[in-house]
Structure 1
């Protein structure tokens, strides 16, 4: 499959979700379909879509960690954050059982 076919499918699926979110299904002004975005714009739109769809699921921290976007939050929120974002946010805590079973060290930022 070519990249264009994959992108068409991605637009199709995300626009189906956006259509569902419309109060007036025939009006595209509330929640317009996505189209004509660059790869980076589309990726950002998908991350926002996920945030809206799963806002109460408690996955934001994992999304920020996976997408390496913690620093963006620090920049936007600055001193209003009660706990500043540090380098440890960019690594994963290794569970104690894994450290013991595999004789490995904890990630340095978590010491």
Structure 2
């Protein structure tokens, strides 16, 4: 199903986004320029340093509900894998500290 709506287009105060937008406009790469923008219908974004460029009309091909659900599942699986990897790295650091402390207590002192 296709959905279409209008939303405000902003250039943020992030230097790399500004540079990407200006370079894309200079090169005529409109898709890249649009990719450097943020879109929001939240009023008052100017107060956080965003510059409103105008209004965008966006059309999105929305997949069916099952595909959306599967997308969430894949995202959660990836997040789970990252959490497990981060935890394993932390476990290794802790184990190294334990082994280091145990090695200290097992040193032979000679005088």
Q: Same fold (TM over 0.5)?
A: no
TM-score (norm 1): 0.28
Structure number with the bigger relative contact order (C-alpha 8 A, sep ≥ 6) is 2
TM-score (norm 2): 0.28
More strand by share: 2
Q: Which has the larger radius of gyration?
A: 2
